Every structure is written in structure tokens, then in C-alpha cells.
Chain A
């Protein structure tokens, strides 16, 4: 865990340095971000990364490939619901070990933009939890694809490579050119990292952000449910 924290903090420091250098080159402000906001953005992002578990394990897909998934399917539960419950539980622990430490570091050591009103704290928490559920839904879709692809490592690798940029972890989405910004906000990606950060920083309307997140959480969970239902009909048991 300590080793994971070191990596997290090193990359946080690097990203802060580059964003701050960019801000200095632009007279201190780019698209609503000043130096305090950029620091806040980076340290919340470094925390959310582990809290929503942007880069998961692909374990379910491996179980599909090996056939072990049959054991999961014949248990008297809804597989997606059970895994979601497990992930929310993991999130409770990750809140203390992954989300809180980088945020505290940011608050104590760096210029930090605290929310203007106290209501933003609980709203940020709500937004972060929806982000966790949405992220679970996206990862579940990637993993369930193994029922059709058998080897989903290509898709899984592609998710791992591109999600950091698309969800606004590396560069704030507000820095993107307008066409990219508009296109991205039509996808679920910003719901995973950028939306909770925007709620915390007070960028944009909170109600709109939360509704946007809820919409995508519902869509990806529903898609995952449908995909699983169809996949189950495809499963062939080889002997036993």
C-alpha cells in the first residue's frame, strides 16, 4: 500500500508541475483553473483514480475464458448486482486508503481551493459514489465482452490506455478544444473523474452534473444487465 502511495504521489507531483507551468505561460488562468484549482484538481484526481478503480483487474473476463464463470452463474444471485455490492464495499475501504490521503496531502502541502459552500462536501461525496458505480458499470461491460470475444485483452488494454485521458484525469476536459469537449461530455467518461472534481470546485451546475452522472450510471448498468442476460444464453457447459 505504501508503495502504491509513493507512485501515486510521484505522478501527482509531476502532473501538478506541468499544469502549473502551463498556467504560468497563460498568465495564471486557463478555462476557470488557477493555480489553486489546478492543484486541487490533480490531488482529487489522484485520489479518485483508486477510489473508482479506473484500472481494474479483468478478473471476470479471465473466469469467462477459463470457464470458472459457470460457478458464479449458478449461484442464487444476480451476478452483476453481487459484483457491484463487492465493488461498493471495496470503495468504502478505498475511501480511507486511496481517496483521503492524496486529498489531505493536497490540502496540507499545496495551495488548495476549498469549496465555497459547505454543501459541496456531501455533494462531492455523492458524486464520487455515482462515479464509482458508473466506473464499475463500464468495467463490467468491458469484462462481459469476453463472452463474445473470449480473449478481451485487446479491448481491456484499450480501456486502460485511453480512459485516463478521456475521463479528464490527466488534463482537465475544460482544456480540450471545443469539439472534443462537446463530444466527451456526450459519453460516460467524464462522469468517472471530471464530474466529481467539477462538483468540488464548483465548476458548472451541480444539479446538471449529478443528473448527467446518474443518467450514465443507469445506462451502463442497464447495458451490463442486458449483455449478461444475452451472454448467459450463449454459455455452453463442457462436460463437468
Chain B
């Protein structure tokens, strides 16, 4: 049943958003500009310096683009979780529980905003520029890695989003905590992680597995040594980390939903 309902639900959402063309076009452009905010920051910094943490401008742009594309896709599907506090506070989460479908996919399909594709487009443009302007010795395996990286990254971000938002089942107004982790990890992963202090790096790169979104895959593509001393094959493990993160996120979500109590109204 679910395989018929979800495509229809998503289709209906997309059609409704495309019906106001001018408004959609403006939203789209705004999202592209929003994505390029950090790009402008990087470009400004590199008018003053030649390297950041030992990486050139185009290498940093590659990490930023991987992070941006992955975050854009995650935002498209998992961004709706930001509405979770409203569902819980008003009791409309009960409705989701009554339907014979999973709660998580229901929320993810509830409000897909097509304009977020603007973010992804903005990041992909930079990714193509960066991939063609950094020194990479291309092999078939590296082509696969370049394609797999944003996909694995978006799974990692989505998992982080699910875990962070699960906090809202205990702390109803926990959204800002969640945003510190979700949006924070996007900002974090856009730069080489060796620029951060050790405690920040441990939390944001390894506990929240942000280092595997862009940093390690980029090192593997560039054939560079990790300044932090991890071996080269780590860059190829992002899909595994993504799978692991997804499993953890699924378990946390299930645990959290079990602790949900309706508001009784």
C-alpha cells in the first residue's frame, strides 16, 4: 500500500507548489543565494589568505560543495522534522500514529518544499566547478566516490536530523537545540575539520559523524594525507558510516516514539 500512497502524496505536493510559477521562481532564486552565502564568505577569506588549514581555495570549495549538496537533499526530506514540536504540542502526532504507515516517512513526505532544490542546484554548480579545478587523478573508483559522497552525506545529515529532533519528544521546545546540531553541522562540515579545536572536532566530526560528509571523501579524492593522522582508506568509508547512522537514527526514533504521550485533547 505504502508504495502507492507516497508517490501520490509527493506528486500532489509538487503540483500544488508549481501552480504559482512566479512565486516559485523567486523562492528558488532566494534559495540559490542562501546556499551561496557561505561561498561568498570563503571567497572573501581567500582574498586575504592562500590556504586554510593547508587547503587551497578550490579544495575548500570542494568540501563546501559536498556539504552543501548533501545538506540540501537532507533538508528536502528531513527538514520537515522541524515541525515536530508543533505536532507534539498540538497533539496532531496522534493522527500520524493512527494511520497504518510509518510515522517517520509520513512526516518526511508531509511538506516537501520543492524550492529547496534551489539549494541543491547552487551547491552542485560549485561542485562541478571545484571538481574540474582541483588536481585529481581520476580513476573509475574515484568517479564512483565523487557521486556516492553527496548521497552518503545526505543520509548522514538526515540521520542527524532525526536523532536531534527526537529530543523534542522529551523537551517540546527543543527545536533550537536540534538546529544547533543540524544547521551547525552544515556550517561545520563546509570547512576542513583540522581548523577546529579538539573538543569541537570530537563532538561535530566523530560523535555527530560530520567528518565523513565532505572532509574525508575530499581527502581521498585529492589523494592528500590527513593532517590529523587517520589512514587514507577512511575516505572511502562514508557509505558505511551513513548506513550505520541510519540504523542508529531508526532505533532512536523508535525509542522516542514509544515514549510519546498524547496531550489528551
Q: Which residues of A contact B (CB under 8 A)?
A: 3-4, 6-7, 10-11, 13-14, 17-18, 20-22, 25-26, 30-31, 151, 154, 157-158, 161-162, 164-165, 170-171, 175-177
Of the candidate stretches B103-111, B127-135, B138-146, B190-198, the one touching chain A is B190-198
Instruction: Tell whether, in the assembled complex, residue A31 and residue B195 are in contact, meaning their CB atoms are under 8 Å apart.
Output: no
B188 adjacent to chain A (CB < 8 Å)? yes
Residues B173 and A3 in contact, CB atoms below 8 Å apart: yes
Distance in Å: Cβ of A155 to nearest Cβ of chain B: 10
Q: Verify B52–A25 contact, CB threshold 8 A.
A: yes
Q: How far is the CA of A5 from the CA of B191 in the complex (A)?
A: 23
Q: Are B44 and A17 in contact (CB under 8 A)?
A: no
The CA-CA distance from A171 to B47 in the complex, in Å, is: 12
A11 touches B174 (CB 8 A): no
Chain B interface bracket (under 10, 10 to 19, 20 to 34, 35 or more)? 20 to 34
Chain A's interface: helix, strand, loop or mixed, by majority? helix
Q: How far is the CB of A1 from chain B (nearest CB, A)?
A: 9
**Pair A154/B26 contact, Cβ less than 8 Å:** yes
Nearest to A15 among chain B residues (CB) is: B187
Interface residue? B33 (CB, 8 A)? yes
User: Looking across the interface, which residue of chain A has its beta carbon closest to that of B203?
Assistant: A10
- Would B48 and A21 count as touching, CB distance under 8 A? no
Residues of chain B with a CB closer than 8 A to A4's CB: 176
Residue from B34, B176, B183, B200 with most neighbouring chain A CB atoms (10 Å): B176
Measured in the bound complex, the distance between the Cα atoms of B44 and A176 in whole Å is 6
Write the residues of chain B forming the contact surface with A, with a CB cutoff of 8 angstroms: 23, 26-27, 30, 33-34, 37, 40-41, 44-45, 47-53, 173-177, 179-180, 183-184, 187-188, 191, 195-197, 200
B34: contacting residue among A13, A21, A161, A175, CB under 8 A: A161
Chain B residues closer than 8 Å to A177, beta-carbon distance: 44, 47
B197 and A17: CB pair below 8 A? yes
Contact A26 B196 (CB under 8 A): no
20 sample A-B contacts, Cβ–Cβ < 8 Å, listed by A number: A3-B177, A6-B176, A7-B184, A10-B180, A10-B184, A11-B180, A11-B187, A18-B191, A21-B52, A21-B191, A25-B53, A26-B49, A31-B48, A157-B30, A162-B33, A162-B37, A164-B37, A171-B41, A171-B45, A175-B45
Smallest CB–CB gap between B192 and chain A, Å? 8
Query: Cα distance A84–B197 when bound, in Å?
Result: 41
